[in-house]
C-alpha cells in the first residue's frame, strides 16, 4: 500500500461519521436510533461511488425492552436493565432467593450446584478482552442447566452504572436476566442470610417482529473473489456505544472511500458490510454466513472484522488459530505505530467468529486486549461514549485496517487457506470450546454440527 494512499485517509470525514453514529444514540437493534443509523450508513456508502449497494433485509422475531428493577427486603429498589432476549417476569414480579456466586466460574456453579435449583444467581461481569474471561452467556447457560429461575450480573466497575449484554436465545427455557451496577450487586450481597438474599425482580419485555439488515456495498475487482471489511452497527441503549462499535462502523465507511478508486484495478473486490443484531448473540452475521453457498464462501479471500478498534495503545488481531491469517496480518502491520499482537485461540466475541466457523479466513481487529486499564473496560455500560476515543490512535487503527484490506485485494497469491470442517473442529478443540453447546453447534453448519455432537 502506497504511503500516499494511507495519508489520504481523512480525519474530518472519519470524525463526521463517528459523531453522526453517536448522535443517533446507542443504536439498539430495532429501535429508531438504530434504524436512523442504518439509513445514514447506506446513504454514506452510496456516496462512495464506483460500487453498488446490495443490502439484504430479513425478518426476525426481535425483542423489546421495558422497565426493570429489583426490590430488596425493606422496600429499597435497585436499578436494573433487562439483558437482551430476557423473558419477562409476571406483572407482579418474581420473588426469588438469590445465591451470590461471586465471579461465577464453572467451578463456582459446580461447587454450589446443590443450592441453585429454584433460586436466583448473582454473578459478576468481567473485563471481556482476555483469554481468561468467562463470558456472560456461559454463566447464563450454566445457570439454566442448574435449574436457576433468575439471573443477575453486576458490573465489576464501581461508579459506572448498570451493565448490559445479551442473555438467552429466545428459547422456551430462558430465564429472566438483568444487569446491575456494581453497587446494586453489593447491596444484594450485603443482605444475604446464610449466603442467600430474597429479592423481587421485575422485568418488562416482549418478542416482536422486526426486520434486520445486512448493509452491503460492493466495489468489484478484476476477479470474482472478495475481501470483506465489516463491523456491526448496532449497540446498546445505555449511552452512545461509541467504542463498541461506532469506531468499527465509521472505519468501514472511511476505508471504502479511500480504496474505492483503486478496486477496479485490483485482483479482488472489496465488500463493505455493516451487520445488525450482533449484540444479540452475533445473530446478523450468523444468518448471513449460513445463507451463503459453498461457492460464495470460497470466493471470500479474507474477512477483516473491525470491532472496538480504539481505546488502548495496543491493537490485537484475533485470528482463531488461522496461522496463515496471522502471518498475513503480521507482514502488513510491521510499520504500524501501534503494536499489533496476535491472539491465537478461537474467541466467540464478534462477527469474525461466524466466518471462522464456516472455514473462511478471518480475524477481528480490536484495541485493549489483555489490558484491563484500557478504555474498553467501559463497554456495555453508560460510560461507552465518544469522549473516550483518542482520535489519533483511532486513525492509526483505521489506516492499518485499510492497509491490510488493500494488500488482500491486490495480492496475486492466496491470502490464507480456507478450513474444512476438521480444521474448524481442531481449532475449537485447541480453544477448549464445548461443541455440544448450542452457541457453537448453531454456527458449525448442519454437517459439521452433526459431527461435533456425536
The string of pLDDT tens digits covering residues 120-135 is 999 999 999 998 899 9
User: For the chain, what's the residue count?
Assistant: 454
Angle at 55 between CA 24 and CA 282, to 5 degrees: 70
Summarised one tens digit per residue, pLDDT across range 150-179 is 999 999 999 999 999 999 888 899 999 999
pLDDT, mean of residues 401-420: 96
Label residue 452 by pLDDT band (50, 70, 90). Answer: very low
Confidence at residue 454, expressed as pLDDT on a 0 to 100 scale: 29
pLDDT at 446: 38
Q: How far apart are CA 454 and CA 438, in angstroms?
A: 14
pLDDT computed for residue 448 by the predictor: 41
Q: How much is the pLDDT for 6?
A: 74
d(CA 361, CA 328): 11
Q: What are phi and psi of 108, to 5 degrees?
A: -60, -45
- Average pLDDT of the chain to the nearest whole number: 94
When pLDDT is averaged across residues 211-240 and rounded to a whole number, the result is 97
Share of the chain above pLDDT 90, in %: 89
pLDDT for 438 equals 62
Residue range 264-280: mean pLDDT, rounded:
97
Q: Say which range, 86-95, 151-160, 425-434, has the weakest mean pLDDT.
A: 425-434
**And the C-alpha cell for 218?**
460492493
The number of beta carbons lying within 10 Å of the beta carbon of residue 49 is 11
Rounded Cα distance between 225 and 296, Å, is 9
Q: What structural domains and CATH numbers belong to the chain?
A: 3-51+220-419 (3.40.630.10), 65-205 (3.50.30.30)
199: which 3 cell numbers?
Answer: 429479592
pLDDT tens digit string along 294-332? 999 999 999 999 999 999 999 999 999 999 999 999 999
* C-alpha cell, 372: 484491563
Of 237, 207, 243, the C-alpha closest to 62 is 207
**pLDDT greater at residue 195 or residue 91:** 91
Neighbours of 417 (CB within 10 A): 13
pLDDT for res 432? 81
**What's the pTM?**
0.94
Q: Where are the beta strands (DSSP E) in 52-188?
A: 52-53, 56-72, 77-79, 81-82, 94-100, 120-124, 150-154, 177-180
pLDDT for position 437:
67
Q: What is the DSSP string of 151-214?
A: EEEE-SSTTS-----B---S-TT---EEEE-HHHHHHHHHT-BTTEEEEEEEEEEEEEEEEEEE
Render pLDDT for 381-402 as a digit per residue (tens, 0 to 9). Answer: 999 999 999 999 999 999 999 9
Amino acid at each position: 500500500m502506497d504511503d500516499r494512499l494511507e495519508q489520504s485517509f481523512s480525519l474530518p470525514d472519519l470524525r463526521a461519521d463517528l459523531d453522526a453514529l453517536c448522535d443517533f444514540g446507542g443504536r439498539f437493534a430495532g429501535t429508531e436510533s438504530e434504524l436512523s443509523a442504518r439509513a445514514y450508513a447506506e446513504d454514506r456508502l452510496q456516496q462512495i461511488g464506483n460500487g453498488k449497494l446490495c443490502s439484504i433485509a430479513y425478518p426476525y422475531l426481535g425483542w423489546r425492552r421495558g422497565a426493570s428493577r429489583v426490590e430488596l427486603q425493606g422496600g429499597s429498589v435497585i436499578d436494573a436493565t433487562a439483558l437482551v432476549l430476557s423473558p419477562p417476569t409476571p406483572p407482579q414480579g418474581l420473588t426469588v432467593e438469590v445465591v451470590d456466586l461471586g465471579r461465577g466460574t464453572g467451578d463456582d456453579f459446580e461447587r454450589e450446584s446443590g443450592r441453585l435449583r429454584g433460586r436466583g444467581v448473582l454473578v459478576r461481569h468481567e473485563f471481556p478482552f482476555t483469554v481468561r474471561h468467562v463470558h456472560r452467556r456461559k454463566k447464563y447457560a450454566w445457570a439454566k442447566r442448574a435449574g436457576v429461575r433468575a439471573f443477575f450480573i453486576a458490573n465489576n466497575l464501581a461508579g459506572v452504572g448498570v451493565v448490559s449484554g445479551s442473555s438467552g436465545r429466545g428459547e422456551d427455557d430462558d430465564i429472566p436476566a438483568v444487569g446491575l451496577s456494581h453497587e446494586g450487586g453489593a447491596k444484594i450481597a450485603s443482605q444475604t442470610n446464610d449466603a442467600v438474599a430474597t429479592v423481587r425482580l421485575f422485568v418488562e419485555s416482549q418478542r416482536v417482529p422486526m426486520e434486520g439488515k445486512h448493509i452491503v456495498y460492493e466495489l468489484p475487482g478484476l476477479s470474482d473473489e472478495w475481501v470483506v471489511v465489516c463491523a456491526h452497527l448496532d449497540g446498546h441503549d445505555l449511552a452512545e456505544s461509541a467504542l463498541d462499535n461506532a469506531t468499527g462502523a465509521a472505519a468501514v465507511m472511511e476505508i471504502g472511500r479511500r480504496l474505492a478508486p483503486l478496486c477496479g484495478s485490483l485482483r479482488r473486490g472489496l465488500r463493505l458490510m455493516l451487520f445488525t443484531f450482533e449484540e444479540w448473540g452475533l445473530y446478523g452475521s450468523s444468518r448471513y454466513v449460513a445463507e451463503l453457498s459453498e461457492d460464495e464462501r470460497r470466493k471470500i479471500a479474507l474477512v477483516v472484522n473491525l470491532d472496538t478498534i480504539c481505546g488502548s495503545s495496543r491493537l490485537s488481531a484475533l485470528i482463531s488459530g488461522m496461522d496463515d491469517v496471522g502471518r498475513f496480518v503480521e507482514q502488513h502491520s510491521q510499520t504500524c505505530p501501534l503494536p499489533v499482537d496476535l491472539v491465537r485461540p478461537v474467541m466467540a466475541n464478534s462477527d469474525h467468529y461466524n466466518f471462522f466457523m464456516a472455514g473462511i479466513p478471518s480475524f477481528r481487529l480490536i484495541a485493549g486486549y489483555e489490558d484491563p486499564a484500557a478504555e474498553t473496560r467501559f463497554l456495555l455500560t453508560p460510560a461507552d461514549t465518544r469522549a473516550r476515543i483518542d482520535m489519533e490512535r483511532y486513525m492509526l487503527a483505521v489506516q492499518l485496517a485499510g492497509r491490510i484490506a488493500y494488500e488482500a485485494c491486490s495480492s496475486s497469491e492466496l491470502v490464507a487457506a480456507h478450513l474444512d470442517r476438521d480444521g474448524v473442529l481442531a481449532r475449537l478443540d485447541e480453544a477448549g470450546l464445548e461443541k455440544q453447546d448450542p452457541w457453537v453447534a448453531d454456527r458449525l453448519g448442519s454437517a459439521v454440527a452433526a459431527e461435533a455432537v456425536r
